[in-house]
Each structure stands twice: as structure tokens, then as C-alpha cells.
């Protein structure tokens, strides 16, 4: 009986490739099924609500390559839902998900926090800046404020007061209290703005104070002692105008 060694090898290669492809799709289907079942247990739809069981199933799906499950597992570890809080595992799964295209503005900000602090991952300012920028561009007010501070301090990136003002202003108008206080600081010092403006400084301090910022309240009280009556009335009117603008922004549907 004659046979071709070359053809036999070719058949073996084809069979190996076929098995690999079949294995890949089988794993993907299994992971998708695990995630689907996990979702039922998580929300209690079609099954008794059981967060611990949901976590176990999501974790198995994540381990089998389900990117959305990786993202969910990272969040569950971060919040301690269905498992104990484990920030190292939270970072691992959120980072894997993000590198595979699944993230949110909140998870991007969390990754930036990990990288800038060097906690559970080697400190890396470039990575921190990358994820803060991503989260800020996606509309996360805390990330916008943190990015502004990086530009203001010049610790991680070259100092740039204009960019600091840009991001503090956006975060402040998105209702982030710390950014509102820092907007007051910018106008009080004249850094990153057209010049010192105590009226605008008071307006932002007043807004921060109204939102519970203690330093904002102290700064507001100090400026009340040096502003004229006319300046104070103007500053309070400006603060109310800002408040209304921010209220309108916050009422808009989130993207």
C-alpha cells in the first residue's frame, strides 16, 4: 500500500488546527453559558438570588477568557460582593478586562489610582496618566480633578496651569466638590487663569462650602471679611448662577 508522508502530515496539521478551533469555540460557549447563569443568580431572575454563587460562576467564566466576566469579577472583588474585598485581585481582573477592551470610566480611574500609588502593582506614572486621561475623557469627575491636580503640581507630568484649569473647571461643573474648591484656589492665586479674581474665587469657595467642603467654608469666610459689599453680592450671584448651571448638567442623561 502506497501512501504519501507529506499528505499524512498535512492531514495531521489540519486535524490539529480543527481541534484547536473547536476547543476555542467550546471554551467560549462554556464561558458565555457560565456568565449567563451567573447573571441569573446575581439579579435573582429565573433563579434564587445568590451573589456568592454568581461570583463563583463569573470567576470561572473570567478564567475561561470571558472579557465581560473579567470586568465584573474585578468589580465584585473591589466592592466585596459575593467574596471578600481583594484589591490585588480586583486590579488583576479590571486590568485584564481593560487591556481586552472592556472598561468603564470608573474602572479606568481605579486603575489609575493603583498605578499612581504603586499599591498591588509596581508604581508607573505613565500608566496612571494614561488611565486618568481615559477616565477624564469619558466623563469621570474625580479623574478629571485628579488629572487637573497632576498638571497643577507637575509631579507626574510637566506643570501646566492651563490644563489644570481646564480639567478642574470641567470637574467642578460636573459637581465634584474638591474641584470646586480648587477652582477657588486658582482664581485666588491667579494660576492658570487670566489673573487674580476674588469675586470668582469666592463664588467657587461658596459653592464648595455649600457642598460640605470645610476648607471651602473657611476660605469663603475669609473672603467675606475683605470683599466690599458690592463685590460680595456679585460673587454670591455668580455662585448661584454656577449652581444652576451645574444642576442642569447633572440632570442631563448620563452617556
Question: Has residue 209 been placed in a domain?
Answer: no
DSSP the chain: ----HHHHHHHHHHHHHHHHHHHHHHHHHHHHHHHHHHHHHHHTSSS---HHHHHHHHHHHHHTT-HHHHHHHHHHHHHTSSS---HHHHHHHHHHHHHTT---HHHHHHHHHHHHHTSSS---HHHHHHHHHHHHHTT-HHHHHHHHHHHHH-SSS---HHHHHHHHHHHHHTT-HHHHHHHHHHHHHTTTSSS--HHHHHHHHHHHHHTT-HHHHHHHHHHHTTS-HHHHHHHHHHHHHHHHHHHHHHHSPP-
Confidence at residue 7, expressed as pLDDT on a 0 to 100 scale: 53
Question: Has residue 86 been placed in a domain?
Answer: yes
CATH code of the domain containing 34: 1.25.40.10
Question: Has residue 203 been placed in a domain?
Answer: no
| pLDDT tens readout for residues 8-53 | 555 544 545 433 433 433 455 577 889 999 999 999 998 899 999 9
Confidence at residue 197, expressed as pLDDT on a 0 to 100 scale: 97
- Total domains, the chain: 1
Question: Has residue 236 been placed in a domain?
Answer: no
Question: Has residue 206 been placed in a domain?
Answer: no
Question: Has residue 247 been placed in a domain?
Answer: no
Domain that holds residue 32: 7-90
Give me the residues of the chain with pLDDT under 70, please.
1-29, 254-255
Question: Has residue 201 been placed in a domain?
Answer: no
Amino acid at each position: 500500500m502506497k501512501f504519501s508522508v507529506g499528505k499524512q502530515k498535512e492531514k495531521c496539521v489540519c486535524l490539529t488546527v480543527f481541534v484547536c478551533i473547536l476547543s476555542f469555540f467550546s471554551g467560549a460557549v462554556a464561558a458565555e453559558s457560565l456568565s449567563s447563569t451567573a447573571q441569573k443568580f446575581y439579579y435573582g431572575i429565573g433563579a434564587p438570588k445568590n451573589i456568592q454563587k454568581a461570583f463563583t460562576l463569573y470567576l470561572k467564566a473570567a478564567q475561561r477568557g470571558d472579557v465581560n466576566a473579567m470586568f465584573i469579577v474585578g468589580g465584585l472583588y473591589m466592592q466585596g460582593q459575593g467574596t471578600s474585598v481583594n484589591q490585588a485581585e480586583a486590579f488583576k481582573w479590571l486590568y485584564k478586562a481593560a487591556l481586552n477592551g472592556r472598561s468603564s470610566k470608573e474602572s479606568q480611574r481605579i486603575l489609575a489610582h493603583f498605578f499612581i500609588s504603586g499599591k498591588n502593582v509596581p508604581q508607573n506614572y505613565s500608566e496612571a496618566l494614561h488611565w486618568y486621561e481615559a477616565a477624564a475623557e469619558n466623563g469621570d469627575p474625580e479623574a478629571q480633578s485628579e488629572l487637573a491636580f497632576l498638571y497643577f503640581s507637575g509631579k507626574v507630568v510637566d506643570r501646566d496651569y492651563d490644563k489644570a484649569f481646564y480639567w478642574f473647571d470641567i470637574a467642578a461643573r460636573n459637581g465634584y466638590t474638591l474641584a470646586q474648591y480648587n477652582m477657588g484656589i486658582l482664581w485666588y492665586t491667579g494660576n492658570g487663569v487670566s489673573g487674580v479674581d476674588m469675586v470668582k474665587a469666592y463664588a467657587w469657595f461658596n459653592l464648595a462650602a455649600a457642598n460640605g467642603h470645610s476648607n471651602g467654608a473657611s476660605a469663603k469666610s475669609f473672603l467675606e471679611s475683605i470683599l466690599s459689599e458690592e463685590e460680595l453680592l456679585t460673587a454670591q450671584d455668580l455662585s448661584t448662577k454656577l449652581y444652576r448651571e451645574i444642576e442642569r448638567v447633572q440632570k442631563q442623561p448620563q452617556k
